[in-house]
Copies of this chain bind each other. A is one copy, B any other.
Amino acid sequence: MVASPKSVMAVEESDDRQPAQSPAQGKDRLRLWIRLLRVSRLIEAELRERLKAEFDTTLPRFDVMAALYRSPEGMLMSDLSRFLLVSNGNITGIVDRLVADGFVVRAQREGDRRTSIVSLTGAGSAAFAAMAAAHEGWVNAALAGVSQDEARQLAGFMKAFRSNWETGV
């Protein structure tokens, strides 16, 4: 994580990078991926369980509401699917259920009858605010062993990785 050459943190392209196929390095990267996935699953399971127990909701619903909370002007279905990295059809079902529960509305958009603007209702916004506060507490508890410095460094790494990914692909 420390800034170093041949790093994803160094955004510029460097040609002296060792080939990804180098056996030892390959194993290190594979190990990293497996562990990253495990950590992410552990935390996700914890959050899912608490959302269910304390708010009787699910992680995907929370994610959709979080996205809408950030965008008071509303979002298109395709905005949601792009932002949350899930398929279009997936969003349809989650939004349907949120609408049925009165947390979300689809508003007609004049000029384009294919699309509708999805946004939180008052009830949805209030419900999300309560959940978000609890959620932040759970994440902090889950990451209690991570120092502030580490958290910042790792977050920087993840950000660099992602922008690297998105420009690279």
Please give the residue numbers on chain A whose beta carbons come within 8 Å of chain B beta carbons, in ascending order: 1-2, 4-9, 17-18, 20-22, 24-26, 28-33, 35-45, 85, 136-137, 139-155, 157-159, 161-162, 164-165, 168
Contact = CB atoms under 8 A, between A and B. Distances in A.
A161 B32 CA distance: 13
Contacts of A161: 39, 145-146
A140 B39 contact: no
Count the copies.
2
The 9 closest A-B pairs by CB, nearest first: A1-B1, A35-B158, A8-B145, A20-B140, A28-B151, A40-B40, A6-B147, A32-B155, A29-B143
A106 to B, nearest CB: 26
A22 to B, nearest CB: 8
A151 B44 contact: no
Contacts of A149: 4, 6-7
A154 B40 contact: no
